[in-house]
Amino acid sequence: MVVSRLPFALIVAALLEAGAAAQPGQDPTVRPVMPSFKSSATQVAVTAAVRYANGTPVTTLTRDDFQILDNGEARPISSFWFEPSAASVVVLFDRSGSMGLGDKIDIGRDATRQMLGWLDAGVDQVSLLGFDHDVARLQPFEPVPGRVLAQLAHVDAFGTTALLDAMATAANEVTEHRTRRAVVVMTDGLDTGSRATATTVSRMAAGIDVPVYVIITTPVVDRSTATSRTADLAELARRTGGESFIVTTSVEATLATRAIASDLHHQYLMAFASDGTPGWHALDVRVKQQKLLVRARTGYDAGVRSASPVSHH
């Protein structure tokens, strides 16, 4: 089968555009499309997922429960929206040579299968990308469950890994749109071919309001070293508003993928007016209730035009 080779940024851009169209089988009273509109360059949108300590999503918060600090300064929330809605997910699957060692690729396939299981069949959408030294579209967007698992059955492990380069390309070139979407990376965390550094990519990725979740597929024999060798990826995921998980067993894959799907279906969407000062702005999204866990991007570049939510409250 001939596989098309595409720049990672273009594929993630396709992810961001996918939610604009009506999704087959979607009941808008259950999973409405999140609103968005083109705004001024000083209007900044941010999505946030909030959990209790036990991982259960918090779904009862209002605008007044949140606080947004922009470079340490509190900003009024000008727009606020929360409804359960459909998700569009890119599964980015590592098919480099290191994934052929042990049972890494099987762990990744199992985690992908479970990820699809937590998404809403016929409502949510998924696409599959494979990467080694470059990125290939293996399955275009289609309603879950689609043909992702069938395509994964034919994935072989070969070549070098340029995960950081792919993420850097996405951070540089992707156009931001606001809706419930994510990139879920299945990888062993080994990067043998990137030119970019994790520090650089972390800052770039923080400017994309599309969370990146990283599932580290780790055999039992490598478990003891997994946390230290993947610390940079964990930080990169955190800066985007995503999370990283170390997965060895099927039970761990269940917990990780359930948490990701829960975040996607229960994100809060807010916007605020930036002061327009050029350069990098640090973001800190908080809730006033203690002991709640908040995940949101940690910064943005001022002056970048993007989509912002329609105010509903």
Domain with residue 143: its CATH number is 3.40.50.410
Q: Name the most confidently modeled range: 37-51, 148-162, 212-226.
A: 212-226
Q: Kindly report the CATH number assigned to the domain that includes residue 273.
A: 2.60.40
Q: How many domains does the chain have?
A: 2
Q: Residue 167's pLDDT is what?
A: 61
Structural domain range at position 175 = 8-19+86-265
When comparing pLDDT for 10 and 49, which is higher?
49
Does the pLDDT value for residue 125 go beyond 90?
no
Q: For residue 301, count other CB atoms closer than 10 A to its CB.
A: 14
* Residues 12, 158 within the same domain: yes
Token digits for 159? 């070549």
Tell me the residue type at 258. R
When comparing pLDDT for 201 and 217, which is higher?
217
113: in domain? yes
* Residues 185, 116 within the same domain: yes
Q: Residue 303's pLDDT is what?
A: 61
Task: Estimate the crossing angle of helix 198-206 against helix 163-173, to 10 degrees.
Answer: 30
* Residues 91, 147 within the same domain: yes
Q: What is the mean pLDDT of residues 125-131?
A: 86
313: in domain? no
* Residues 282, 141 within the same domain: no
Choose the weakest-confidence range: 103-112, 173-182, 292-301: 173-182
Does the pLDDT value for residue 193 go beyond 90?
no
User: The dihedral of CA 54, 57, 61, 67: what is its sign?
Assistant: positive
Q: What is the mean pLDDT of residues 297-308?
A: 67
53: in domain? yes
Does the pLDDT value for residue 22 go beyond 80?
no
149: in domain? yes
With contact defined as beta carbons under 8 Å apart, do 102 and 219 qualify? Answer: yes
pLDDT band at 33 (very low <50, low <70, confident <90, very high): low
With contact defined as beta carbons under 8 Å apart, do 293 and 51 qualify? Answer: yes
Q: What is the mean pLDDT of residues 278-294?
A: 92
Q: Residue 284's pLDDT is what?
A: 96
**If DSSP states are collapsed to H, E and C, what string results for the chain?**
CCCCECCHHHHHHHHHHHCCCCCCCCCCCCCCCCCCEECCCCEEEEEEEEECCCCCECCCCCHHHEEEEECCEEECEEEEECCCCCCEEEEEEECCHHHHCCCHHHHHHHHHHHHHHHCCCCCCEEEEEEECCCEEEEEEEEECCCCHHHHHCCCCCCCCCCHHHHHHHHHHHCCCCCCCEEEEEEECCCCCCCCCCHHHHHHHHHCCCCCEEEEEECCHHHHHHHHHHCHHHHHHHHHHCCCEEEECCHHHHHHHHHHHHHHHHCEEEEEEECCCCCEEEEEEEEECCCCCEEEECCEEEECCCCEECCCCC
With contact defined as beta carbons under 8 Å apart, do 137 and 39 qualify? Answer: no
pTM > 0.85: yes or no = no
Q: Residue 165's pLDDT is what?
A: 72
Distance CA 16, CA 14 (A): 5
Does the pLDDT value for residue 97 go beyond 80?
yes
Give the chain's mean pLDDT. 79
Distance CA 261, CA 124 (A): 10
Share of the chain above pLDDT 90, in %: 40
* Residues 45, 90 within the same domain: no
Distance CA 193, CA 184 (A): 20
When comparing pLDDT for 49 and 195, which is higher?
49
pLDDT band at 289 (very low <50, low <70, confident <90, very high): confident
Q: Residue 168's pLDDT is what?
A: 62
* Residues 66, 156 within the same domain: no
Q: Residue 172's pLDDT is what?
A: 41
Distance CA 271, CA 76 (A): 9
* Residues 90, 77 within the same domain: no
